[in-house]
Amino acid sequence: MELFVATNNAHKLTELSPALPGHDLRLPAYAGIADFEVEEDGLTFLDNALKKALTLYRLTARPSIADDSGLDVRALGGAPGVLSARYGSSDGRTKLTAAERNEILLRNMAGHADRACAFVCCLVLVISEYRIFVVQETCPGELLYEPRGSGGFGYDPVVYLPGFGRTVAELSLEEKNRVSHRGRSCARMMAILGDLEARP
């Protein structure tokens, strides 16, 4: 199935393509939309993903998919949450480096014994205004007191997975794709896409 992905970031397409094999993923530019941008002002991952997917569908009239993801830390009331990419920014918009965000997060966790956290990924597929499919998955773990590992990106070095005895940044790419929030969401979305192709 041809799917328009609600992003201008070609790297996002590179990430999603292997996780959604057999489907033709397109950037908005393919439909002549040069500067696709949606303000992510929702209170939840679902709010943001739905807004992006619906906006792109209304511009293209083609099946559109969007994701929103981040890290939820229980002791911080769910922060960084939907602000994961902008966490620690003084104006709420400027993006710090991953190392800077991790440092701020661990500093804010000082004194908290509860280290439970989870990566969250919400995927929304819009086939039409009235046919919308949502998948949201998690990758639960625990926050370390200092980063470990050189793989992955973002918060991966500070999230420890007890089942593996390693941080996300210490997993192989194959392991990460199997257990990550995005990997799990994409696997479930693949089942939905397969069903839609079998019974359109």
Active site residue 68: yes
Question: What was the pLDDT predicted at 90?
Answer: 80
Query: Per-domain residue ranges for the chain?
Result: 2-198
Is the separation of the CB atoms in 54 and 126 below 8 Å?
yes
Residues whose CB is less than 8 angstroms from the CB of residue 38 and which lie 6 or more positions away in sequence, other chains included: 6, 51, 52, 55
How far is residue 147 CA from its own chain's centroid?
21
Q: At what angle do helices 10-19 and 181-198 cross, to 10 degrees?
A: 70
Confidence band of 81 (pLDDT split at 50, 70, 90): very high
Residues whose CB is less than 8 angstroms from the CB of residue 127 and which lie 6 or more positions away in sequence, other chains included: 63, 133, 196
Percent with pLDDT over 70 in the chain: 100
Question: What was the pLDDT predicted at 124?
Answer: 98
Range 71-75 average pLDDT: 98
pLDDT tens digit sequence for 147-176: 999 988 899 999 999 999 999 999 998 898
pLDDT tens digit sequence for 7-23: 988 878 888 888 999 99
Question: What was the pLDDT predicted at 174?
Answer: 86
Helix (H), strand (E), coil (C) string for 75-102: HHCCCEHHHHHHCCCCCCCCCCCHHHHH
Neighbouring C-alpha atoms within 13 Å toward the C-beta of 175? 13
Confidence band of 195 (pLDDT split at 50, 70, 90): very high
Question: What was the pLDDT predicted at 13?
Answer: 84
The DSSP bridge pattern shows strands 64-73 and 24-26 to be unpaired
Question: What was the pLDDT predicted at 182?
Answer: 92
pLDDT tens digit sequence for 32-46: 998 899 999 999 999
The CATH number assigned to the domain with range 2-198 reads 3.90.950.10
pLDDT tens digit sequence for 92-145: 677 899 999 999 999 999 999 999 999 999 999 999 999 999 999 999 999 999
Residues whose CB is less than 8 angstroms from the CB of residue 121 and which lie 6 or more positions away in sequence, other chains included: 45, 67, 68, 69, 136, 137, 138, 180, 181, 182, 184, 185
Residues 106-111: contacts with CB under 8 Å, at least 24 apart? 106/143, 106/144, 106/145, 106/146, 106/158, 108/76, 108/79, 109/73, 109/75, 109/76, 109/143
The neighbour count for residue 159, using CB atoms within 10 Å, is 27
- Which one is catalytic: 47, 67, 68, 72? 68
